[in-house]
Amino acid sequence: MSFDGQVALVTGGGSGMGQLACERMAKAGKKVAALDVNEEGLQKTAASSENVTTYVCDVTDLEAVKDSVGKIESDLGQIDRVMTAAAIMPSDLIMDMSPELTVKVMDVNFNGVVNTVHATLPQMIKRGQGQQIIFASLVGWMPVMHFGAYCASKFAVRSYADILYHENRHTGVDFFCVCPPMVNTPLLNQVQSNPKVMDEGKGPVEPGFILDEIEKGVAKGDFWITPGEAKWAIRAARWMPNLIWKNMHKIEGTA
């Protein structure tokens, strides 16, 4: 594991990628703080290791995040790694999704990152060390029908992380932006509108593969971590956007 620190904070630690990340780092002997609004999920995460300490926290609430970070520093010590894995992914056509739900997606996926960064990065900068691992997505580069809200939130996360890194690249803190393809986590259970694009390609990859790729990227010092098919798909989205949209319309039957 390419993590020399002792304490890690993981948002979204009650399920999916965040939960597995907590379990892996705890198994490696790290002290892990798992944050989530899902109390039942946090209980399962905590049961995996005595090295996991859980904190019920809504990442959309800045003061709640700051309070949790204060407790973590008091309970476990300085935070050496932050992984912002908290997210929601409801699907629907943009005009069929309520404005309230659309804003909620942005609040959890983007504002949750902003709040976590503001609650943890100043201390890292002061010490001149630490890791900020921010989860964006392949669809933070490639817009997909039925996922307008989710794509918008991940586009925002990706841009935010990119600028954050360049504004702080001489502080001693290491920054990483993870842009995975579709992953087999409980987020997929939130997809209700039957987007046909999900039946294309090789299907979702396993979260363990993504976490392995993150550690490889961290070890190499790669800011952009684009596991599996995400690497070529991002290139296609950047250089052939019209072709990507043509194929998307064909898949969804809207050509």
**79 touches 32 (CB < 8 A):** no
Could you write out the three-class secondary structure of 23-65?
A: HHHHHCCCEEEEEECCHHHHHHHHHCCCCEEEEECCCCCHHHH
Tokens representing 107 are 């609040």
What is the pLDDT at residue 255? 79
What is the pLDDT at residue 83? 98
**17 touches 211 (CB < 8 A):** yes
In whole angstroms, give the CA distance from residue 211 to residue 119.
24
Tokens representing 176 are 């990483």
**66 touches 20 (CB < 8 A):** no
Task: Indicate the residue type of 8.
Answer: A
What is the pLDDT at residue 1? 59
Task: Indicate the residue type of 5.
Answer: G
DSSP designation for 206: P
In 31-149, at which residue ranges do the beta strands (DSSP E only) sit?
31-36, 52-56, 81-84, 131-135
In whole angstroms, give the CA distance from residue 91 to residue 186.
14
Rounded mean pLDDT for each run of 10 residues along the chain, 255 residues in total: 88 97 97 97 96 98 98 97 98 97 98 98 97 97 95 98 97 97 93 86 90 97 95 90 91 87
What is the pLDDT at residue 5? 85
